[in-house]
Amino acid sequence: MNYLDTEDNIVALATASGLGSIDVIRISGNNLSLLFQKITKTKTHPKPNIIKKHTIYSLISGDIVDTGMLSFFSTPASFTGQDIVEINCHGGGYIANTIIDFLCLSKEVRLALPGEFLFRAYMNNKVDLIQAESINEMISSESGIHNNKSLENIDGKLSEKILIIKKSLINLLLIIEHELDFDESEILHINNVEISQKIKDIIKHIDSVSECYFFSKTVRSGLRVLMLGKPNVGKSSIYNHMLGVNRSIVADIPGTTRDTIESILEIGGHKIVLIDSAGSWESIDEIESMGIAKTKDEIELANIIILVGENDKDITAFNKIVKNKNVIVVMSKNDIHNHKNNFLSLSTENSHGFSELLTKILTGVNEYYSNNKAKNEYLINRRQYQILKQCNNSLKSLLKDINLNINRDVLAELLHIILDDYNNIIDPVDREDIINNIFSGFCVGK
C-alpha cells in the first residue's frame, strides 16, 4: 500500500466523522463504472457529473445498506483525474463505515492514505504542489482572510507568480547557454553587467513573494490584541464580556503561564488572539523592571493594545511602556465614573461602548494590513518561504561569482542547480520526498 500505487482503487470518508445528517464517501480509481453498477445494481454506464438517488447494495451480501445520492465523475475531468464515485449516504458514521467495510472486503478498493486523493490530483496535473497545499490549508483556515487567501492560491495566484519568476530564470539560462553553443565571433555577447542586472531583477521578484511570509504567519496565527492596565480596572471583565458577546469564538487556549490567558475570536473576517494580561503586579515599575516578564513580552508581541483605566492617571502611567504601539485607550466602569476625556468609555455592567470597541479593533486590524499592502499579496508557507530564501541566497552568491568573472560554463551549471532548487516549490522531482513531507501530513479523505 503506497501512494505510488495509483492503479489501486481508494476509498475514504470525505466528511468529518461524527453525528451529522449526511456522510460523503469518495472513491477514486482508473475504471469505476463497473463498481458503480455493482453497488447500485444498475446495468448501464453511469451518467457523469449528475447526482442521482440510488439504492446501495453490499458487494459482499448483496443486501440493501442504504438509499443515497450518488455521482460519477469520469476521467480525466475529475478532481483526481481518475474516475470518481461519490456516495452521499445517511450520516452518523455507521452506514458510511458499513459501505467502506464492504468495499474493502470485496478487495476491489482499499482505504486511502492521508492526502492520497490530492496526491493523485497532483500526479495527474490537476493541481500543482502549491495548489495542493492550499486546498489542505483552506480546510484548516479559521478566518475569512485566511480562507480567501487560500482560495486565491487554489485558483493559482501564487503559482502564477512563481512560474513567471521561473520563466525569467529559464530565459537567462537560455541566453547564456545559447552563447556557449556558438563561436566567439558569431554572436553578440551579453556582458556581465547585463547578466547581473537580470539576476538582480529576479532576486527582487523572489523577495516580493518571500516578504509575504510575515503576513502569512499573522494570517495563520492571528493578530495579537492585548488587554493591559493596572489590576482591578476591569480588564478581565471586559475580556469576558467581549468573548461573551462575540458569537464567532473559535477556541479557548489555556494560558501558557499564569500571567496571561488567550482566546481566539474572529472580528470582521480576521483571526484575533485576545490576551488578558492577568499579571499580579502592584506597580508599573514592576513591569518596567522586568518583574512581569511575560507581560513585557506580550506588549512587545502585541499588534494592538487595549489599555484600560478608570481615570487619566491609570492611562498615563503606561505611556512609556506602550510607546510606538497601536493603542486603544478604554475608560472603564462608566456606570460609576463620569469620564471627562475623549477616550472610549464603556461598562461591563450596562454593555455601553462595546460595539465601538469592536469597531476600533477592526480599524486597527485593517490599518495593520493596509500598512503592509505589498507584503500582504501572497499567502506562503514555511516550505515555500525556505525555498525562496535559499534560491535568493544562491543568486546573491552567483552575483559575487560573476564579479569574479567565473567561466560561463560554470555560471550555466550553477544556474541549472538554482533552477532545480527553485522548481521544488511547485513541481519537485523527488516524489518520495513530497509524499513523506507534504501529502502524508494531510488529512485522510483529502
Write out the residues near ligand GDP by the rule CB under 6 A: 229, 231-237, 332-333, 335-336, 347-349
Instruction: Give the nearer residue to ligand GDP in terms of CB position, either 232 or 437.
Output: 232
Instruction: Give the nearer residue to ligand GDP in terms of CB position, either 27 or 306.
Output: 306
Smallest gap, in angstroms, from Cβ of residue 232 to ligand GDP?
4
What is the rounded distance in angstroms from the CA atom of residue 253 to the CA atom of residue 230?
Answer: 23
Which ranges of 303-351 does DSSP label H, i.e. alpha helix? 312-316
What is the rounded distance in angstroms from the CA atom of residue 289 to the CA atom of residue 4?
Answer: 59
Instruction: Give the nearer residue to ligand GDP in terms of CB position, either 49 or 280.
Output: 280
Smallest gap, in angstroms, from Cβ of residue 250 to ligand GDP?
23
Instruction: Give the nearer residue to ligand GDP in terms of CB position, either 134 or 332.
Output: 332
Instruction: Give the nearer residue to ligand GDP in terms of CB position, either 112 or 302.
Output: 302
Smallest gap, in angstroms, from Cβ of residue 363 to ligand GDP?
23
**Cell of residue 383, nine digits:** 516550505
Evaluated on CA atoms 311, 314, 317, 321, the torsion sign reads negative
Beta-strand pair 223-229/270-277: parallel
**Cell of residue 395, nine digits:** 543568486
Q: Identify the DSSP state of 338.
A: -
**Residue whose C-alpha cell reads 469576558 in the numeric block:** 240
Q: 367 pairs with which residues across the strands?
A: none
**Cell of residue 292, nine digits:** 512581569
What is the rounded distance in angstroms from the CA atom of residue 209 to the CA atom of residue 374?
Answer: 9
What is the rounded distance in angstroms from the CA atom of residue 196 to the CA atom of residue 398?
Answer: 9
Instruction: Give the nearer residue to ligand GDP in terms of CB position, either 335 or 367.
Output: 335
Q: Identify the DSSP state of 288.
A: H
**What dihedral angle (degrees, nearest 10) is formed by the CA atoms of 288, 289, 294, 300?**
40
Q: Give every CB contact of residue 179 below 8 A, 6+ residues apart in sequence.
A: 187, 189, 190, 408
Smallest gap, in angstroms, from Cβ of residue 125 to ligand GDP?
56
Helix (H, G, I), strand (E, B) or coil at 35: helix
Smallest gap, in angstroms, from Cβ of residue 304 to ligand GDP?
18
Instruction: Give the nearer residue to ligand GDP in terms of CB position, either 165 or 307.
Output: 307
Instruction: Give the nearer residue to ligand GDP in terms of CB position, either 356 or 427.
Output: 356
| Residue 329 near residue 240 (C-beta atoms within 8 A) | no
Smallest gap, in angstroms, from Cβ of residue 142 to ligand GDP?
26
**Residue whose C-alpha cell reads 493578530 in the numeric block:** 223
Smallest gap, in angstroms, from Cβ of residue 347 to ligand GDP?
4
Instruction: Give the nearer residue to ligand GDP in terms of CB position, either 83 or 314.
Output: 314
Smallest gap, in angstroms, from Cβ of residue 290 to ligand GDP?
21
Angle, CA of 212, 214 and 218, to the nearest 5° = 115
Smallest gap, in angstroms, from Cβ of residue 226 to ligand GDP?
13
Instruction: Give the nearer residue to ligand GDP in terms of CB position, either 358 or 444.
Output: 358
What is the rounded distance in angstroms from the CA atom of residue 85 to the CA atom of residue 113?
Answer: 17
Smallest gap, in angstroms, from Cβ of residue 114 to ligand GDP?
44
Q: Give every CB contact of residue 210 below 8 A, 6+ residues apart in sequence.
A: 380, 385, 388, 389, 392
